[in-house]
Copies of this chain bind each other. A is one copy, B any other.
Amino acid sequence: MTDARRNTRQNHLELAQKVLNIAFERGMKAGDHLPEQGFSAACGVSRTPIRSAFKLLEENGVLSWKEEEGYFLAIQTREEQAEAVRRLEDLEDSLARRILSDRAERRIGEVQSASALVRRYKVSRNTVLNALKILSRDDIVTQLPGRSWAFQPILDSPNSVEDSVAFRLTMEPQAILAPRFTMDFKRAGLLRSQMEDILKLRNGSITCSGFRAIDTEFHSFIAECSGNRFIRGSLLTHHRLRRTTQKDASIPDFRLRQSLEEHLEILESLERNQFDLAADQMVLHLRKSRVRRPEAANRGIPPMKRGVQS
C-alpha cells in the first residue's frame, strides 16, 4: 500500500474523482465510452494526466480498457460510484491527513517545526513542506514569524463548532440572497437524486460519514452558486475546513433524514427562484442542525435578536 501510494500521484486521485463526477453528470451508463479528449477539455488539462486518471480508475475496477478503443465505464449505479470515490479517498491519505489526525488526537503539539515533522514521519523535507502548504491553505496551520508552524484550534472544541455555526448562519443565507445567484440545475438534480437515494435506505442504515459527505457537498454547492465572489470564497474555504477536520459524531437516524429533507426543500425553493424563502429555510436548517449536535446544544448563540440590517 505504501508503495502504491508512492507510485500514484496525488493529483491523479483528485483528477480521477473529477472524471468520475463528470461522467455521471453527463449521464453515462455502464459500457459507455469515455473519450480522452472530451475529458481533457472538461478538466482543463492535457490528455496525459487524463490517461493516468483513467488507468487509475481501471485499476480500481471502475473503468475497463480495450486496445485501440479506449476506456469504458464499468459500473452502473450511484452506489458503486460512491463506493469507488470512497476507495479513492482512502488512497489519498496524504501526509497532511496524518498530521491532522495526529494533531486532533493531541499526539503532537500545537507548535511544530518542519524538521521535527520530517523526523517524526520519516519523509522528505519536501513532502512535509507540501503537507504544510495544504494545511495552511485551509488555515489549519499558520506560519509564525520565526520558523515554527502553529496549529489553529481545530473544529472540535465546543467554541469552534459554535463559531462555525454562527459564521454559516450569517453567510449561507446571504449567499443565496446575493444578486447574480445562479443555480446549476444539472448539479442540483444530481444532488437531489443522490439524497433521495440515501433517504430510500432502510431505517438505521444511513452512515454518518456518508451523510456528512453529501451534507458538505450540498452546502458547498449553495456557496458555489452564489453571485458574490467573496461570500462564495469564504464559504468554500470554510466547508473545506469542515470536511477535513470535522469529527464523526453519532446522530440519530431520524435527524439525518430530517436534515436531508430540509436540503431537498431548499433545493426546491431555489429551483422555483424563491430565494427569500430558500434563505429562510437555510436559517432554520442551520438552527435545527445546531440543536441536533448534542455537544453544542444550549450554548450561547444569541437567539433571533437582529439581522445584518436591523
Q: Name A's B-contacting residues (CB within 8 A).
A: 11, 14-15, 18, 43-46, 49, 133, 139, 144-146, 152-153, 159-160, 163-164, 166-167, 169-171, 173-174, 177-180, 227-231, 233-234, 237-238, 276, 279-280, 283, 300-302, 304-310
Closest to A14 in B: B145
Instruction: Report how far A159 CA is from B227 CA in the complex, Å.
Output: 10
> Distance in Å from the Cβ of A210 to the closest Cβ of chain B?
26
Please judge, given known A-B contacts A153-B229, A228-B167, A229-B153, whether A146 and B49 are in contact too, CB under 8 Å: yes
Q: Is the pair A167, B230 in contact by a Cβ cutoff of 8 Å?
A: yes
> Which B residues are CB-close (under 8 A) to A233?
139
11 interchain pairs (CB within 8 A)?
A49-B146, A152-B229, A167-B234, A170-B231, A171-B171, A174-B308, A276-B306, A283-B310, A306-B307, A306-B309, A308-B308
Report the Cα distance A180→B99, complex, angstroms.
30
Q: Which residues of B contact A170 (CB under 8 A)?
A: 170-171, 174, 231, 308
Which residue of the partner chain B has the closest CB to A306?
B307
**Which residue on B lies nearest to A150, using beta carbons?**
B44
Return the chain B residue nearest A232 by Cβ: B163
7 tightest A-B CB contacts, nearest first: A307-B307, A167-B230, A234-B234, A304-B309, A45-B146, A163-B228, A170-B174
CA distance A265 to B307 in the complex (A): 21
Q: Which residues of B contact A230 (CB under 8 A)?
A: 163-164, 166-167, 238
Q: Could you say which residues of chain B place their CB within 8 Å of the CB of A11?
A: 145
Across-interface contacts of A145 in B (CB, < 8 A) = 11, 14-15, 18, 43-45, 49
| Contact partners of A231 in chain B: CB under 8 A | 163, 166-167, 170
